């Protein structure tokens, strides 16, 4: 959840579940590792297997319930967000390491593209006391990002590789990465101005009162 000035005089709050934006380099490194492992496996795949019904199949692991971490302050969460190119005081976020790998199918001649989620964590700033209205409000928003991740995984499983023949492992991986980036835009769309504005009236201004000290400590001034 980001808190930042909105339309000059309003305090806006939203969540950020855009782990793929923060971890783009890491995803690419992990994807390359998956590609290298897959290439080694291709060399050992038996040649007497019949072709698969789908030469390229997509699958995704279940996005597990994230670990909840209340230990980091808003300033610490904001620093993490700044490293991902985001601005504003951050009250919560969902972070996860993603891994893409291209591997041979074992029962037929073809490949499977697998999306894995590793160690998802949902963080809420330590200034927000558990059990408070503000805590429940932030948690609801972050849990929506978790649900969006799960829907992205479902859509990833339904992908169809558009080229019937001549598919290289590198080309398949590039396609999978592009499609995952496209699907992840749902996280960005959820963080919209209407979502920001909904936080002003939440909890009788409790969120704003909690945010102002954190914002003042970080920037020397209070937003809004």
Please give the model's pTM, rounded to 2 decimal places.
0.73
Query: How does residue 70 score in pLDDT terms, banded at 50, 70 and 90?
Result: very high
Whole-angstrom CA distances from 174 to 104, 105, 194 are 17, 19, 34
- Judged by average pLDDT, the poorest of 25-29, 39-43, 85-89, 117-121 is 25-29
**Mean pLDDT over residues 98-117, rounded?**
91
Of residues 224 and 180, more confidently modeled:
180
- Residue 132, SS3 per DSSP: coil
Query: How does residue 85 score in pLDDT terms, banded at 50, 70 and 90?
Result: low
Residue carrying the six token digits 């001034």: 221
Spatial separation of the C-alpha atoms in residues 220 and 197, rounded to whole Å: 24
CB within 8 Å of 34: residues ≥ 6 apart: 99, 100, 101, 102, 103, 114, 173
| Residues in the chain, overall count | 224
Q: H or E segment at 160?
A: none
- Round the average pLDDT of the chain to a whole number and report it: 75
Share of the chain above pLDDT 90, in %: 41
């Amino acid at each position: 959840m980001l808190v930042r000035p909105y339309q000059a005089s309003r305090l806006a709050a939203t969540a950020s579940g855009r782990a793929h934006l923060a971890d783009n380099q890491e995803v690419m490194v992990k994807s390359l590792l998956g590609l290298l492992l897959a290439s080694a496996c291709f060399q050992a795949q038996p040649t007497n297997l019949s072709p698969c019904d789908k030469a390229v199949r997509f699958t995704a692991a279940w996005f597990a319930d994230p670990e909840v971490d209340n230990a980091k302050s808003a300033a610490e969460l904001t620093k993490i967000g700044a490293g991902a190119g985001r601005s504003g005081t951050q009250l919560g976020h969902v972070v996860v390491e993603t891994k893409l790998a291209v591997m041979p199918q074992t029962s037929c001649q073809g490949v499977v593209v697998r999306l894995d989620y590793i160690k998802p964590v949902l963080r809420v700033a330590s200034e927000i006391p558990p059990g408070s209205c503000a805590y429940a409000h932030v948690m609801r928003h972050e849990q929506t990002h978790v649900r969006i991740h799960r829907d992205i995984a479902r859509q990833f499983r339904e992908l169809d590789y558009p080229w019937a023949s001549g598919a290289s492992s590198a080309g398949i991986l590039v396609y999978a990465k592009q499609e995952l980036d496209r699907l992840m835009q749902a996280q960005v769309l959820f963080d919209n101005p209407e979502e920001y504005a909904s936080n002003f009236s939440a909890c009788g201004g409790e969120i704003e009162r909690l945010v102002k000290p954190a914002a003042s400590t970080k920037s020397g001034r209070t937003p809004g």
